[in-house]
Amino acid sequence: MPMVIGVVAGSVLAGIAVVIGLFKLMWRVAEPNEALVISGSTHKTEGLGEGMGFRIVTGRGTFVVPGVQAVRKLSLDLNETQLSVECVTQQGIPLKVRGVVIFKVGDDFVSIANAARRFLDQQKLMPERVHIVFAGHLRSIVGGLTVEDMIRDREKLTGQARAACGTEMEKLGLIVDSLQIHEIEDPTGYIKNLAMPHAAAVQRDARIAQAEANRLATEAEQTAFARMAEATRDSEILQAGYQAERDKAAATARLAGPLSEAAARQEVVVQETRVAQLEAQRREQQLQADVRKPADARAYEKRTIAEAERDARISAAQAKAQETELAAAAEATRVKTAAAAEAQATEARGLAAATATRATGEAEAAATQARGLAAAASAKAKGLAEAEAIKARAAALAENQEAVVAQQLAENWPKIVEAGASAFGNVEHMVLLNGAEGMSEMFAKALTMGGTGLGLARQLLSTMNPPHDETAVPAPRNAPTPADPAPRNAPADPAPSHPIPITD
């Protein structure tokens, strides 16, 4: 019986051991940083499309049938790749960009499936592939930027690189945890040259700051030295003062004896001087009481009387001066009033005379103007009439000279006869030999002299205006016209006059 129990127990234990061995052989547990990719049977994983042909397990255990299914592990750890990419900027400047990309396989099943398909057997090549992806995109992005943009905004470069690589990294089942641009190498020295002005400015500011600090330090040192010298001087002065006091005390101590004797003598002299002064004061007071007081009283009396008399004279003079001043003021007021009245009267008379003179002048001027205008109008009318008469005479002369001459002779015939008879005006005695017949002949001769004038006028007109010249102009105004008689001042008939005795 005990043997049976032992066998049964051993069998049970063996069975348990076999079960445990089989369980360990078939049970697979995924670590937190890995994913189990189980293939060999048809499985459907949540989030994945049909036809995957494998199963993904993360963070738990699962049964795997040995010989039927295959289990592979895909690491979910972080990976990194060092970037060293030669690029050319928008300005054509070659650069070398250095950085690091930290990435891993995504935690979701889609990313794990994409990564499993591409890197399950080539997980060590994963950094190289990532480097290739980032290198291409970095060259493209840097080609669109300038060096200044890359230096001043590296975050922009990093963001654009991550955005450009995101789709491809997603297809690879990878996610980028970090992308850092460490360094931008400039083999041509462009960045160094860009920094030189700023570096020079910083050096300048540093030198200025250093010089300012040196100046302030020097000033502080000099101030400290001055204060030290001042303290030394004050100390030496105090020491000298103390030494002088000590010397004075020592000298005083040495001269104490002679000084005491001199002081005693000085006190005696002072007392004697005081006694003399008191004696002099007593004598002075005695003289004041005996001599000066009476003299002062007499002088005061005389001075008071003189001042009273002077004040009386001054008062009288002032009263007289005031009286004279008042009289002069009254006289001046009277004269001023009279002068003002006379001035006003004179001004009134002047204004009246000026008004009358102005009225007379204006009237005379108006009369003169009227006479002048009338004379001018008369002269103008006369001149126009004469001009018209001359014009008409000239026209008539041009048309019918004979008629004009005849008219003129007819108009002036009395004057002609008078001129002809004037030849007998100077005859005192006339003798007529043939009586009344002789008188008739004399008068006929006188009239013949007037007719001679007519012939001369016709001859003159014929000379000035030839018959064939129809366009001849009249003679000038100053020339004698046929109608005009002979000038009065011209000599009369050249025939000599002889006194003719007249007898009965």
DSSP string, 368-389: HHHHHHHHHHHHHHHHHHHHHH
Give phi and psi for 492, each to the nearest 5: -70, -165
- The whole-angstrom separation of Cα 24 and Cα 502 is 217
For residues 108 and 83, the answer to whether their CB atoms sit within 8 Å is: no
Residues contacting 156, CB < 8 A, separation 6+ = 149
Distances 407 to 323, 392, 396, 454, 474 between C-alpha atoms, Å: 106, 13, 11, 11, 17
Short-list 36, 85, 86, 87, CA closest to 57:
36
Contact 110/47 with Cβ under 8 angstroms?
Answer: yes
Arithmetic mean of pLDDT, 390-417? 75
Q: Which two tokens stand for residue 315?
A: 């008062």
What confidence category does residue 503 fall into, taking pLDDT thresholds of 50, 70 and 90? very low
Residue 60 has pLDDT above 60, yes or no: yes
Residue 68 has pLDDT above 80, yes or no: yes
The kind and range of the H/E element at 252 are helix 190-254
Phi, psi of 342 (to 5 degrees): -65, -40
Find out whether 399 and 468 touch, Cβ atoms under 8 Å. no
The span from the CA of 117 to the CA of 84, in Å, is 28
pLDDT tens-digit series, residues 434-489: 666 766 776 677 666 655 656 665 665 566 554 444 444 444 444 444 444 444 44
Least confident of 27-31, 46-50, 327-331, 413-417: 46-50
Tell me, what DSSP letter sits at residue 423? Answer: G
The helix (H) or strand (E) run that includes residue 83 is strand 79-88
Helix ranges (H only) for 288-400 are 293-399
DSSP state, residue 66: B
CB contact set of 374 (below 8 Å; sequence gap of 6+): none
- Chain segment 83-124, per-residue pLDDT in tens: 999 999 998 999 999 999 999 999 888 889 889 888 888 888
Distance between terminal CA atoms of the chain?
Answer: 254
Neighbours of 103 (CB within 10 A): 22
pLDDT tens digits for range 194-243:
888 888 999 999 999 999 999 999 999 999 999 999 999 999 999 999 99
Contacts of 352 (CB under 8 A, 6+ apart): none
Helices 190-254 and 256-287 cross at an angle (nearest 10°) of 70
- Return the H-helix or E-strand segment holding 63: strand 61-63
Stated length of the chain: 504
How far apart CA 104 and CA 177 sit, in angstroms, is 7
Distance CA 39, CA 117 (A): 12
Angle (nearest 5°) at CA 466 between 464 and 468? 155
353-371 pLDDT, tens digit per residue, is 999 999 999 999 999 999 9
Question: Closest Cα partner for 462 from 412, 380, 409, 401?
Answer: 401
Q: What is the per-residue pLDDT for 374? A: 92
The residues pairing with 183 across neighbouring beta strands, listed in sequence order, are 98
Question: Residue 82: pLDDT band by 50, 70, 90 thresholds?
Answer: very high
